[in-house]
Structure 1
């Protein structure tokens, strides 16, 4: 089975460090024929990709939606949703993105202010510089903390200072997972749950919960992911087979923000073609 596609990557339009042209060049250099452009809660990179895609590479336009799903005790747990090939101008999606951008901008600033009040030597100005055209997100704050010598890595910043249960965190009202799946599906897209066995998501995404999402339009599970061990991959393949869901593989590449290589996890080419058949928007290529 040929695997030349990586369907989950990020650019500087969200929390990656590569520009869109840089990411596309890296994908081509890694031997990929298809790359999923899936920045968080935005389709801003799609237009750039249309102008910058090199010959020999195909871009699958997508987004990683920040959603949450309740645990049995009622606590809302972060679960990310990949949506591919939907209508980027869909009114429900664009309105939700605007709401989240507004909330995220204020949330990022509140986290920075909390850290400064806690004695950490960072500035809001520097975090804004690191964020560039995107709203302030935790990876930008983590990089500022690294520059200041407060932590040695982005991972350490998240584990010790930026965790959702930590003292410096500021909450953000996210879209519910069920709403996200229904919204992407209604916009003609292909909803795939991102890294369902990573972190807290594993506890809430039981086989029964995943089955309940299929009638809403869920089409696939991201199985091959750097955060999944072999046991998780085997379990997820079994769930997907039972429910008739597609299985994808992706690096979740963020440039310098994470030690992940583009193309280190891949999706079967035949699955890519199935996603393309299901979506309302065409892939980007020359």
Structure 2
């Protein structure tokens, strides 16, 4: 049983439509896949409608949070997207994503980059506009050769010349909101050192006390030593240790299934959600 609990579509900053994400997941031998777009559930219905035989879809999201002034991401699963308080916060985050992206475009233009808001908006399918859209627009404008080059202090890294802050949730509050909506949260890529997502054991311990259900241990940006430490920490805190590809389509080499979650960890997450009776699939279906 191959389970990938972290994938993106072009409903946020992935490059493939939700229908293509689930098709590629099945072609890559995945049995259970979570669609976790940034701050939006806009791709859920399309993914569910296109679900191939033998594949189960876990509706999810990647929530933008901030801890001590640094970006922190939480993966939410199996929650009710219509819960009013959570839905309002997600709308606020998406609105501020647009304002932030517009501000970054303005700063880039001041720095001599011939990128426009129209170019960025054309690359973003919905309201979850992100830095990868800006990076792709910079490539189109000829300012850089690859999107990865945008994420440096020269351009739009968190300490970059064109970076603009945006609204983000306190992660302890975000965990509470997702739990109130019937779902569970997993801390995304907490040791992705190359991208600056590095959080100490003490942070994970505090989030566990707030109701965190799991930690993403196996991730393409985690080195073996960090994976082992995260697994040990998860075990000591009673958290599920998950594995996920964090696929963004062409931006990450179409790597769905590159990292996977053990079935018992998946079942532990499902049991912690309000539904609590989700079972691993014999045939494909949507897990709600």
Shorter-chain TM-score category?
Answer: over 0.9
The 5-angstrom pairing of residues 39-50 of structure 1 reads 39-50=37-48
**Correspondence for 2:143:** 150
Structure 1, unmatched stretches of 5+, are 71-75
Q: 1:13-54, CA deviations, whole angstroms, 9 ceiling, x for partnerless residues?
A: 100011011000100000000001000011111122221211
**Correspondence for 2:214:** 220
Note if 1:92 corresponds to 2:90: no
Question: How many residues matched?
Answer: 277
Q: What is the alpha-carbon distance in structure 1 between the residues aligned to residue 130 and residue 200 of structure 2?
A: 29
Note if 1:169 corresponds to 2:163: yes
Q: 1:185-223, CA deviations, whole angstroms, 9 ceiling, x for partnerless residues?
A: 221111100001114331xx3222212222321010000
Task: State the secondary structure of the residue aligned to 2:43.
Answer: helix
**Correspondence for 1:10:** 8
Q: What is the alpha-carbon distance in structure 2 between the residues aligned to residue 229 and residue 122 of structure 1?
A: 35
Structure 2, unmatched stretches of 5+, are none
Q: TM-score, normalised by structure 2?
A: 0.92
Per-residue deviation, 1:181: 1.3
Note if 1:248 corresponds to 2:246: no
Q: What is the alpha-carbon distance in structure 1 between the residues aligned to residue 163 and residue 115 of structure 2?
A: 16
**Correspondence for 1:180:** 174
The 5-angstrom pairing of residues 266-285 of structure 1 reads 266-280=260-274, 285=285
Greater CA deviation, 90-99 or 129-138? 129-138
Note if 1:63 corresponds to 2:66: no
**Correspondence for 2:116:** 123
Q: Contact (CA 8 Å) 1:226, 1:265: kept in 2 or not?
A: yes
Per-residue deviation, 1:60: 0.7
Q: What is the alpha-carbon distance in structure 2 between the residues aligned to residue 136 and residue 218 of structure 1?
A: 27
> Could you list the runs of 4 or more consecutive aligned residues of structure 1 that deviate by over 6 angstroms after TM superposition?
none
Q: What is the alpha-carbon distance in structure 2 between the residues aligned to residue 130 and residue 260 of structure 1?
A: 18
Q: What is the alpha-carbon distance in structure 1 between the residues aligned to residue 149 and residue 274 of structure 2?
A: 40
**Correspondence for 2:227:** 233
**Correspondence for 1:73:** none
Q: TM-score, normalised by structure 1?
A: 0.92
Over the aligned positions, Cα root-mean-square deviation in angstroms equals: 1.6
Is the alpha carbon distance of 1:180 and 1:266 closer, same or farther for their aligned partners in structure 2, counting shifts above 3 Å?
A: same
**Correspondence for 2:33:** 35
Q: 2:197 aligns with which of 201, 212, 226?
A: 201
Q: What is the alpha-carbon distance in structure 1 between the residues aligned to residue 208 and residue 7 of structure 2?
A: 25
